[in-house]
A and B are shown apart, each in its own frame.
Chain A
């Protein structure tokens, strides 16, 4: 009798759980799962975005076309360069900044706010601000000339292949550093003070405290930040789009998302564009899966 009552209570709880979850499930089904499934379906067809003719089934040919396309591999290379070039400094410096913020007692909130502020701006606004800075007559050249004691040197922020890639990395770094710093700050804040106090009593210096206590206990946050950064970098679009629209050469900036946009919207080849987006989705999915796998083995509990 008692068991029956307990079971019914559990069922009740489960029912309420479902009631609360169903709206978000419906939302995600309509706006996330359906588009993904539909994109996968569309990738097997050739369909001109403007045409009223029915799409033509082509099997895997959109995928084989992409694997043989020089432009596609260039966009994969550009995406990889941007991702690696952005995510490593983002993870490292956001951790350093978080440690710095947590180590000071005054102006902590001010620094948090100051670092986080660019994350509130839209990517388009951020790119437009930096376009003005990287203009040949802009602040970037003036600053570099003052710093290196040169006069009138154009560092070609928007034209040289290396500098152009660096420029987009700088924009992204500036925009997202605060966001990931805040994640690390909350990660550090969750470490019990008793552990750091015990280490200090045992004679650990600040360096040892960081490497032996803080860093190992921050592993789940570090993993979360690195995977989020990587996924964010793989999806980069607006900076590259605005830079190329403003006259910067396309070749060094043609990341996968920009290629998807051009293929669908400028070339009307929606089937090929969806095939590209499915490939990008698979890469991101693999990273997410990896994060889940690794984070499960790296779980930290504070006893």
Chain B
């Protein structure tokens, strides 16, 4: 009798534990480092797990620069996270190759795609829509404008209210007045770019002049040589072999601008820079000695194009089980239900209508500049080989800026390389 009871107890405990383990969902969420975001998202995870005790979420943080390589390696080894975020330029390939799952509207709290789209700024889902399905929810949508240090302007005898650069030609002239050199070495730069991000900041300069990276049918590389040559000439004039105003080999402009050390007057960055400035240099943040101005245009521009905006979208692994996908979308939706907290704590914009229509939103410092520039701009160039094209543009700009290569030669090499990729049937 006793033996039968023990056996029965073991059998029951086995059945019970298998039921429990079958019901427990463990999700892995990979994202990039951001201390402010970690703080609120860890709290969301705790709250979500309390609401749904059958779900456990493991949040893994990786360095932003390494995220692309890590996620790619994990997917190719069939060991990818259940949900993740990357810049849309990188995520695009995952959509093309069917590695991410379409949004589960029911899990995300929407009746259908139309209801989801209606809740966000028009165009938000264009980059993640394919064959009528939506593949990601926006963690942030970012565009860049130019941050100015007023004190440095005044120190150079410039009035930041009127002398700020409106055109790229003026950018060179104003930078010349702001720059301080010791011999050839620049100790204070007027302005400098964010060099690796050519699709975000340089391609719009080409578009201002009527150029494009690819023809409309996507089969021919480099449209309008004159536009490209003018932009490459501009970079050559800006660089060490021209008027020596800046270079990719100096410390990143955005990183040193915050510290107000009289070494950087202008930098290119997003709204999130304000959050970093508040932490890095609260005194400068509160000083009222800085401002944000729109992305300049060339004097002979044929169209007004601002810096391209890009997004980090939260996506779900298509190889995860249906159940995991359901809970991943539910969790993503739960996190994204706090757009104000993301804005106030992390300084990132989630383009939900309820946020954008809130009167407090436009009262945020220089939000009007960013929103106007967003209207002037468009989503960053998206292509299966976009990453590769950006590397080729980087090589072209470096060749003319740092190796003083003839701009025509650099453009021809760029065209040849991109065309080869377009023609390659790999």
Instruction: Name A residues whose Cβ lies closer than 8 Å to a Cβ of B.
Output: 46, 48-52, 71, 135-137, 141, 150-154, 156, 158-161, 245-251, 262, 265-272
Contact = CB atoms under 8 A, between A and B. Distances in A.
Interface stretch (B39-47, B176-184, B343-351): B176-184
A71 B181 CA distance: 37
A266 B387 contact: yes
Given A247-B248, A250-B394, A52 B97 contact: yes
Q: Which of B94, B182, B394, B421 has the most CB of A within 10 A?
A: B182
A135 B403 contact: no
Nearest to A249: B398
Contact of B395 (A158, A249, A267): A249
A135 B72 contact: no
B125 interface: no
A59 to B, nearest CB: 14
Nearest to A137: B185
Contact of A266 (B181, B187, B388): B388
Q: Which of B240, B251, B387 has the most CB of A within 10 A?
A: B251
Interface in B394-415: 394-395, 398-399, 402-403
Interface in B86-123: 93-94, 96-99
A249 B399 contact: yes
B403 A267 contact: no
Given A136-B247, A137-B185, A152-B185, A266 B391 contact: yes
A136 B403 contact: no
B322 interface: no
Contacts of A71: 417
B185 A141 contact: yes
A152 B395 CA distance: 28
B247 A265 contact: no
B97 A48 contact: yes
Given A50-B93, A141-B185, A250-B398, 7 more contacts: A71-B417, A151-B182, A152-B181, A156-B240, A266-B391, A267-B421, A268-B72
A272 B249 contact: no
Contact of B249 (A48, A158, A269): A158
A170 to B, nearest CB: 16
B97 A154 contact: no
B250 interface: yes
B69 interface: yes
B13 interface: no
Interface in B198-214: none
Given A52-B99, A158-B249, A246-B249, A251 B185 contact: no
A250 B391 contact: yes
Contacts of A151: 182-183
Contact of A46 (B183, B185, B195, B426): B426
Given A52-B99, A266-B388, A250 B426 contact: no
B385 interface: yes
B250 A249 contact: no
14 contacts: A49-B76, A50-B76, A71-B417, A136-B250, A152-B185, A154-B183, A154-B185, A154-B240, A158-B249, A247-B249, A247-B398, A267-B388, A270-B76, A272-B426
Contacts of A161: 403
A14 B236 CA distance: 70
Contact of B250 (A51, A135, A266, A267): A135
A174 B374 CA distance: 48
Contacts of B69: 265
Contact of A136 (B72, B249, B394): B249
A50 B247 contact: no
B98 to A, nearest CB: 6
A159 B426 contact: no
Nearest to B94: A50
B75 interface: yes
A51 B185 contact: no
A251 B395 contact: yes
B186 interface: yes
A152 B399 contact: no
A247 B72 contact: no
Contacts of B184: 152-154
A50 B185 CA distance: 44
Interface string B62-77: 0001000100110110
A265 B240 contact: no
B67 to A, nearest CB: 12
A50 B74 CA distance: 10
A142 to B, nearest CB: 9
B249 to A, nearest CB: 4
Contacts of B65: 245
B249 A159 contact: yes
7 smallest beta-carbon distances between A and B, as pairs: A152-B183, A247-B248, A159-B402, A249-B398, A154-B184, A158-B249, A152-B182
B183 A153 contact: yes
Nearest to A152: B183
Given A247-B247, A250-B394, A50 B399 contact: no
A57 to B, nearest CB: 13
A251 B72 contact: no
A50 B186 contact: no
A64 B399 CA distance: 28
B161 to A, nearest CB: 31
Nearest to A134: B249
A267 B248 CA distance: 23
A172 B184 CA distance: 27
A51 B426 CA distance: 12
